[in-house]
Amino acid sequence: MNKKVIWITGASSGIGKSLALKFANEGWIVAASARREDLLQGLNKENSNIHSFPLDVTSIENCKNTFKKILDQFKEIEISFFGTGIHDPKSEKKFNLEKIKKITEVNYFGTLNCINSVYDYYNHKQSGQISIVSSVAGYRGLPAGGAYCASKSALSSFAESLYFEMKRKNVRISLISPGFIKTPMTDMNDFPMPMIKTPEFAADEIYKGLIKGKGFEIHFPKSFTFIMKFLRILPNSIYFKLVEKGMSKIKY
């Protein structure tokens, strides 16, 4: 039986790396993409099911060409998982416009560039999955996270819109909304991160959601994400007071 194929972007570290290893260990062929080719080659040494396809998501043509290379080599792709993302809380505290633009370019438009590269393929295939990594940070605005929150909120809204369109073509759209996961990106945070989990935990939750689940949103850990969902429905006046109280406790 032929092995199924998943394309994972942001695969060089964090959730993407752990997910690549999880799928590879489960017998899938993994097309792993990120800018750092040396780290992707290291993944191949850990598991020969993982194949390196370097990618700069900010380049429309690079996304198209990389997807074509993957398709030429493996002929069919079951799941496209788009997980590239950056964050810089220190820059956002100072309203660094260039960094804000970069975060938006990578997180939002970079993901759209990837979706653009596979859109026609899934449109004609009329099966398979496109999975988009957002964050619970997209639920509401958070301190020192304006660009990151906005980029993830935009992704969540876009995924919801894409869901309606692709459902008619039998293509599943899934939204990944993690809480705090220990990655090189969250290591930059200078505040306590409640209920933080490992990338391996995230990979297990995502794998179960993609393979065994059928719902739209895969969010975890639920003990934290349900709190964030509750905050999302609070009136602004209450939400702002709660967050400001929290900020005073952590000496933001």
* 174 or 252: which leads in pLDDT: 174
Domain CATH number, residue 20: 3.40.50.720
pLDDT computed for residue 1 by the predictor: 43
Domain of residue 72, residue span: 5-249
Candidates 108, 122, 148, 207; catalytic one:
148
Reported as a single tens digit per residue, the pLDDT across 5-40 is 999 999 999 999 999 999 999 999 999 999 999 999
User: What domain count does the chain have?
Assistant: 1
Q: Check if 163 is active-site.
A: no
pLDDT band at 126 (very low <50, low <70, confident <90, very high): very high
| 251 pLDDT above the threshold of 70 | no
Reported as a single tens digit per residue, the pLDDT across 56-76 is 999 999 999 999 999 999 999
**Amino acid of residue 107:** N
Burial group, residue 103, by CB count within 10 angstroms (0-12, 13-18, 19+) = buried
The three-point CA angle 114-201-212 to 5° equals: 70
Can you give the pTM of this predicted structure? 0.94
pLDDT computed for residue 35 by the predictor: 94
